[in-house]
Amino acid sequence: MKRIICYGLAVFAAVSIASTSWAATTVKVVEGGEGGGPMTLTLDQSTIKAGETVFAVHNDAMTEEHEMVLVKLKTSDQKIPLVKSKHRVDEKQLKSLGEVSDLKPGADGQLKAKLSAGSYLLLCNIKGHFESGMQAKLTVTE
């Protein structure tokens, strides 16, 4: 019996240490908008500290599928290259750090990334969505 209690305490201690040392920042991302109308991509904070980051993405649209691509910018005012004929951002010319793809209406997704200081852009690159407003900048400080 004593052994079981000790084991239980050890597990509890290990979990506590793990959760405090990770201390990942969570950025809540809400996407919305229906086809043909204005669309949004909003963050609950626009400046965060460098380190482990979790993007918790929610698609708040009624019928429209969305996605979220995380891009590291060279400078905060870097021009975003577009493929005009496809109404999409040219991701090949950007440094993508991952994405949450095919997010159904009402669905939630998650992306984890270790971010260093700099400027980042979050966007939805489904045809026409970036141009309809689905982009947000994120600043990461030391």
Q: Residue 25 or residue 40: which is nearer to Cu ion going by CB?
A: 40
- Contact by Cβ (8 Å): 142, 50: yes
Residue of closest CB approach to Cu ion: 124
Q: Residue 70 or residue 140: which is nearer to Cu ion going by CB?
A: 70
**Residues linked to residue 110 through DSSP beta bridges, in sequence order:** 56
State the minimum distance, in angstroms, from the CB of residue 28 to Cu ion. 17
Instruction: Give the distance, in angstroms, between the CA of residue 44 and the centroid of all CA atoms in the same chain.
Output: 11
Q: Residue 50 or residue 80: which is nearer to Cu ion going by CB?
A: 80
State the minimum distance, in angstroms, from the CB of residue 60 to Cu ion. 11
State the minimum distance, in angstroms, from the CB of residue 73 to Cu ion. 20
Positions that interact with Cu ion (CB under 5 A): 66, 124, 126, 129, 134
Residues in contact with 53: Cβ distance below 8 Å, sequence separation at least 6, in sequence order:
24, 25, 26, 27, 112, 113, 114, 115, 140
**Residues linked to residue 57 through DSSP beta bridges, in sequence order:** 29, 109
Q: Residue 72 or residue 88: which is nearer to Cu ion going by CB?
A: 88
End-to-end CA distance of the chain: give it in Å, rounded: 48
State the minimum distance, in angstroms, from the CB of residue 129 to Cu ion. 3
Helix, strand, or coil (residue 50): coil
